[in-house]
Amino acid sequence: MPANHAVVYEGPGKVEVKEVPYPTFEVKDGPGVNPANVGRKVPHGAIIKSVATSICGSDQHMVRGRTTAPAGLTLGHEITGEVVETGPDVEFIKTGDLVSVPFNIACGRCRNCKERKTGVCENVNPDRAGSAYGYVDMGGWVGGQAEYVLVPYADWNLLKYPDKEQAMEKILDLAMLSDIFPTGYHGCVTAGVTTGSTVYIAGAGPVGLAAATSAFLLGAAVVIVADLNKDRLNQARSFGCETIDVSQGDPADQIEQILGTPEVDCAVDAVGFEARGHGADAAKEQPATVLNTLMKVTRAGGALGIPGLYVTGDPGAEDEAAKHGSLSIQIGLGWAKSLGFTTGQCPVMKYNRQLMMAILHDRVQIAKAVNATPIPLEQAPQGYRDFDRGAARKYVLDPHGMLPKAA
C-alpha cells in the first residue's frame, strides 16, 4: 500500500502537507467526519490516484477561519485522476480509467439525484442534503488534495474520458470540469445567458473567469467582469471581457459607460459571502453588497445566477446577523423587478459531459482563461498564501508529477 500525502487544514491561515491514511472502502472516523457516517461501507467506490487537484476559493473560506472547519481536515474537492482500485459493486468503471470527479458527492438513487439535482443528494450527508469532498459540514468525506482519494458511487459519479492519451494532452483544461467550469456555466445558464446577452459577472477569481468564459460559449454579446483586483481584471480582459473596478464607484455608472444603459440582461454572483463594498466602501466587508448590486443592475424580468458561496454559519463575520447567514438583502427590489434567483451548489453532472466535449473539440480554452498554474503538492501552502493575496491564477496541484508532461 503506497504512502498518501495530503493538504491538511491546521487552523486559521495554516495548511500543511502531511501523511494521511491510504483510503479504504469504509468511512473511518477523523476530523470533520459525521459520526453517522463512521463505519459506512463503500463497496460501490473507487480509489483514485490524483493527477490534478486544485485549490478553490471555497477552500480559502475555511483556511481563513470563516467556517467551523476542524483542524486536521484534509482539503480538496476538485479532483481529476486515474482509477487504481474499484470496490466489488463497481461494474462499469475500470482500473486505469482517467476520470473527472464532480465535487458534489451523489448517490444516484435518491429523488434529487434522479431529478439531476446532484448538489443536494439526500443520502450522503446525514445532517442535510448535499455533500462534497474535504469540506466542513458536508458529511466528512476525505478531501482530494492528496495523492489518493476514495470516491463513493463510482459508476454514478465518475466521468470517464473517452481517450486517455487525448485527455492528458488537455489535462489542465479538463481539470476544471470537477468544479469551476460547470459552476461558472451553471451561473450563466441560471441567469439566462444566451445569444446576444449582456452579462455582468461580479468577481474575477477563477469561478468568475469561468463564468465569463461560459457566457461567451453561450453566445453573449458583451461580458462585463467586476472586481477590486487589477491583476484579475487584466486576466479577464485577456480573453475579451469588459471590466469594472468597483473601487472606483457605482457599477451601474460604469456599466452605462460601456453599454449606454445602466442595466444588463443577466448577472452572476461569483463572489459570495466575503464580499466587500463598492466605491468608498471597498475596504469594508459588506456581505450583501454583491447581491444588492446585481438586483440593481439587472433589467426587470431578468435573472441572477448565484454560484458564489453563502453559508449558514460565519464565525468571522463582522456583525452578529451575518454570523448566522442573515444578510440585509433588498428582496423588495428583486420582487418589484420580477427577478429570478438560483442559488446553491452547481449540479456538476448536469453539465460536465457537454463541457468535456467542448474542451476535447477545441471550442473553449478554460485553463488559459483562468490562468491554470500547476504546482507540486508540497508547494500547496505557498499556493494557498499566494491565492489568498489575490494572485490571478488557478493553482492546480500535481501530486505525482504528471502535469508538466501533459501541459
> In sequence order, what are the residues at sequence separation of 6 or more whose Cβ sits closer than 8 angstroms to the Cβ of residue 64?
12, 13, 274, 316, 388
pLDDT by residue, tens only, the chain of 407 residues: 789 999 999 999 999 999 999 999 999 999 989 999 999 999 999 999 999 999 998 898 899 888 888 999 999 999 999 999 999 999 999 999 999 999 999 999 999 999 999 999 999 999 999 999 999 888 899 999 999 999 999 999 999 999 999 999 999 999 999 999 999 999 999 999 999 999 999 999 999 999 999 999 999 999 999 999 999 999 999 999 999 999 998 899 999 999 999 999 999 999 988 887 888 787 787 888 999 999 999 999 999 999 998 887 777 777 787 777 788 889 999 999 999 999 999 999 999 999 999 999 999 999 999 999 999 999 999 999 999 999 999 999 999 999 965 44
Q: Which CATH number describes the domain made up of 181-343? A: 3.40.50.720
- 5-179+347-406, CATH topology level: Quinone Oxidoreductase; Chain A, domain 1 (3.90.180)
The three grid cell numbers given for residue 197, joined into one nine-digit string: 446577452
Give domain limits for the chain: 5-179+347-406, 181-343
- For the chain, the straight-line distance linking the first and the last C-alpha, in angstroms and rounded, comes to 29
pTM: 0.95
CA neighbor of 138 nearest in space, from 121, 116, 156? 121
Note the pLDDT of residue 404: 63
Taking each continuous run of H as one helix and of E as one strand, the counts in the chain are 16, 16
**Are β-strands 98-101 and 79-86 bridged in parallel, bridged antiparallel, or unpaired?**
antiparallel
Burial class (CB in 10 A: 0-12, 13-18, 19+), 35: exposed
Helices (H), 268-360: 289-297, 320-323, 331-336, 352-360
CA neighbor of 5 nearest in space, from 74, 60, 56? 74
User: Which pairs count as long-range contacts for 82-85, CB under 8 Å and 24+ apart, including other chains?
Assistant: 82/48, 82/49, 82/51, 83/46, 83/47, 83/48, 83/49, 83/154, 83/158, 84/47, 84/48, 84/49, 84/148, 85/46, 85/47
